[in-house]
Amino acid sequence: MSYVPGNITSLLSSPIEHILNANVIILGSDSLADEAIKLMKERNARSVLVSHNGEVIGIVSKTDILFKVMSQDRNLSKVKLREIMNSPILAVDPKTTIKETLSIMDKHIVRQILVSSSGTIFGMVARDDIFEKIQMTTISTADTALSGTPVCIINPKAIVYMKDISAAK
């Protein structure tokens, strides 16, 4: 993730490739849930991509394992990823803006999206990653303002109009 904090408008208009996570895990559709959860833990990942014959066909998240396996008292070492994966998987081009990516995620009610082009997988982006970048940008702007550097931040809801009564005397 190589985005340098600036302002939120420039962040949202940046290509998604600037904040993607290239740390993706791809497992075969016959791989077991216990292998997936082990790799997710080792690599601090939220999900694994599921492939069949070299093509990504689905995604399994930690939440999927929790709700589709553990909460139903199924054995992690007997559940195949193809049984619990979400498919098809949504993908965006690396040049798609962060704002457009968020819009697609909102429309399809997903928390993660694949970043790929012409069959090449560049990485994944999670909604949390985007919000973290927005927060960093906001904090950076606040820090700049507090350090004395001129920054124009206007909040129309905070504007108060006062009548100057000293001139009336």
pLDDT at position 98 is 93
User: Could you tell me the CATH number of the domain that includes residue 91?
Assistant: 3.10.580.10
Q: In a 3-state reduction of DSSP, which class is residue 32?
A: strand
1, part of any domain: no
101, part of any domain: yes
Q: In a 3-state reduction of DSSP, which class is residue 42?
A: helix
The range of the structural domain enclosing residue 85 comes to 8-146
152, part of any domain: no
Helices (H), 13-126: 33-43, 62-68, 81-84, 98-108
> CA 123 to CA 110: how far, in whole Å?
16
pLDDT at position 5 is 46
Q: Are 69 and 33 in contact (CB under 8 A)?
A: yes
86, part of any domain: yes
pLDDT at position 119 is 85
Q: What is the pLDDT of residues 21-78, one digit of tens each?
A: 998 999 999 999 999 999 999 999 999 999 999 899 999 999 999 999 999 999 999 9
> CA 70 to CA 96: how far, in whole Å?
36
160, part of any domain: no
Q: What is the pLDDT of residues 76-93, one digit of tens each?
A: 999 999 999 999 899 999
The one-letter amino acid code at 103 reads S
DSSP 104-137: HHHHHT-SEEEEEETTEEEEEEEHHHHHHHHHHH
Q: What is the pLDDT of residues 99-157, one digit of tens each?
A: 999 999 999 999 999 999 988 999 999 998 888 888 887 776 666 656 666 655 555 55
77, part of any domain: yes
Domains: count for the chain:
1
114, part of any domain: yes
Exposed / middle / buried, residue 115 (Cβ in 10 Å: 0-12, 13-18, 19+): buried
